[in-house]
């Protein structure tokens, strides 16, 4: 028994353990959900059970990835316009079910019911349509002569371009060190609903998010390395002090000296963000330290530097959406790119704030289900998602 917790909670402690063991009935799970939601004072019980549950997880066999994704998904259930409840994060335990212990109560019952139901939840997403799968590895490679090569997650091929040899291995494009004297440029374009990564001729590694593109030379000449980005990319640049690496984004230039960083520069976002993970970069002559983010307002040219939540910034690369004090409209823009859907509103855009972490491997209906738990209602017709109301 945990000090300060009344003995009457012992029943719910046992019930919670049964839930975590997958032995709860639907009625018991709903009872647990109601109790957890009834008072913030129940949080100590969840915290106290965390250690015991972590130890139990070390002896568990692997569970299906679909259920793992659902359990790994975290979404805040209580939202207000003035305050967003902090999300407990940074849990990566086995199949990550231990994160369920620290979930706010609404997600617990959702995950139970979603993982055991055979069909869609009534009233979740209205409209005459089928569910929409998450994005996948896909892109189009445009060669210097204009030829286009379609790339997907299953492709394995060799592309010869003059003296340059390009290998596609599933979701990655790999350039061998080129020997061409002439500088020619290729462009890798990732559509909405896609992602892809590329190893450049110098060994630098770039991950591209949905609705992004990278233009680069097939051979880096002496003196400098220059690429052009649209959308969002995560870079791990091979160090070479004699050949600095530059990323050009519209009117912004990032100079790199062997480092890891993320650049987000979508045209439908209000700012261009450069976040340094490690190493050294200069953004329009502003030097960043690891963990800092440069935010450029394209309309005014004003740049500010501040500390950033690095894990949140690069969550997309590791397979998650992560939100912190984010407006629903901001979240829906991310969903539109990853699920290749169009968003519309039958009212003013909502400004309610949410925070949470959601797997990018879930079908769209699962994410909309969790969002609807917080008030908004949606209608999905084909690939058009309409926000019909926000409570």
- Cα of 270 vs its chain's centroid, Å: 19
Tell me the CATH number for domain 125-132+320-389. Answer: 3.55.50.30
Q: Give the model's pLDDT for residue 162.
A: 81
Choice among 152-156, 179-183, 286-290 with the minimum mean pLDDT: 179-183
User: Please, what is the average pLDDT of the chain?
Assistant: 75
Choice among 4-13, 95-104, 267-276, 343-352 with the minimum mean pLDDT: 95-104
- Model confidence at 20, pLDDT cuts 50, 70, 90, reads low
Domain with CATH 3.55.50.30 in the chain: 125-132+320-389
- Model confidence at 280, pLDDT cuts 50, 70, 90, reads very high
pLDDT, one tens digit per residue, over 53-105 is: 444 444 444 434 443 444 344 333 332 223 332 323 333 322 233 233 333 33
Q: Give the model's pLDDT for residue 40.
A: 52
Cα→Cα distances 375→37, 50, 103, Å: 16, 30, 18
Q: Give the model's pLDDT for residue 347.
A: 72
90-127 CB burial, b ≥16 within 10 A, e <16: ebeebbbbbbbbbbbbbbbbbbbebeeeeeeeeebbee
Domain with CATH 2.60.120.1440 in the chain: 222-308
Region 118-141: mean pLDDT is: 66
Instruction: Find out if CATH 3.30.2320.20 is the number for domain 222-308.
Output: no
pLDDT, one tens digit per residue, over 366-382 is: 888 888 877 788 999 99
């Amino acid at each position: 028994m945990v000090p300060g917790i009344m003995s009457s909670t012992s029943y719910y402690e046992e019930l919670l353990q049964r839930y975590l063991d997958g032995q709860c009935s639907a009625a018991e799970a709903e009872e647990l959900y109601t109790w957890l939601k009834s008072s913030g004072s129940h949080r100590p019980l969840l915290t106290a059970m965390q250690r015991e549950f972590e130890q139990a997880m070390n002896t568990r066999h692997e569970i299906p990835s679909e259920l793992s994704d659902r359990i790994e998904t975290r979404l805040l259930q209580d939202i207000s316009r003035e305050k967003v409840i902090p999300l407990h994060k940074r849990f990566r335990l086995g199949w990550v079910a231990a994160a369920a212990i620290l979930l706010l109560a609404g997600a617990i019952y959702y995950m139970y019911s979603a993982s055991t139901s055979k069909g869609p939840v009534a009233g979740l997403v209205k409209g005459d349509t089928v569910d929409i799968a998450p994005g996948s590895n896909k892109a189009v490679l445009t060669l210097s002569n204009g030829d286009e090569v379609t790339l997907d997650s299953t492709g394995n091929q060799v592309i010869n371009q003059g003296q340059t040899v390009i290998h596609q291995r599933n979701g990655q494009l790999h350039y061998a060190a080129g020997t061409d004297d002439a500088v020619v440029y290729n462009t890798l374009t990732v559509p909405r609903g896609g992602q892809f990564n590329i190893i450049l001729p110098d060994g630098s590694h770039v991950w591209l998010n949905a609705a992004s593109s990278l233009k680069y030379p097939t051979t880096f000449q002496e003196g400098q390395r220059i690429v052009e980005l649209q959308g969002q990319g995560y870079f791990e640049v091979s160090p070479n002090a004699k050949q600095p690496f530059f990323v050009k984004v519209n009117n912004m230039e990032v100079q790199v000296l062997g480092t890891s960083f993320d650049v987000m520069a979508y045209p439908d976002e209000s700012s261009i963000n450069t976040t340094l993970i490690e190493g050294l970069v200069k953004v329009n002559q502003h030097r960043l330290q690891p963990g800092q983010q440069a935010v450029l307002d394209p309309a005014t040219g004003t740049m500010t530097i501040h500390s950033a939540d690095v894990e949140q910034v690069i969550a997309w690369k590791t397979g998650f959406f992560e939100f912190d004090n984010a407006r629903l409209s901001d979240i829906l823009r991310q969903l539109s790119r990853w699920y290749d859907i169009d968003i519309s509103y039958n009212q003013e855009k909502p400004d309610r704030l949410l925070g949470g972490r959601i797997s990018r491997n879930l079908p769209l209906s699962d994410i909309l289900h969790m969002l609807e738990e917080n008030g908004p209602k949606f209608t999905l017709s084909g690939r058009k998602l309409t926000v019909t109301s926000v409570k």
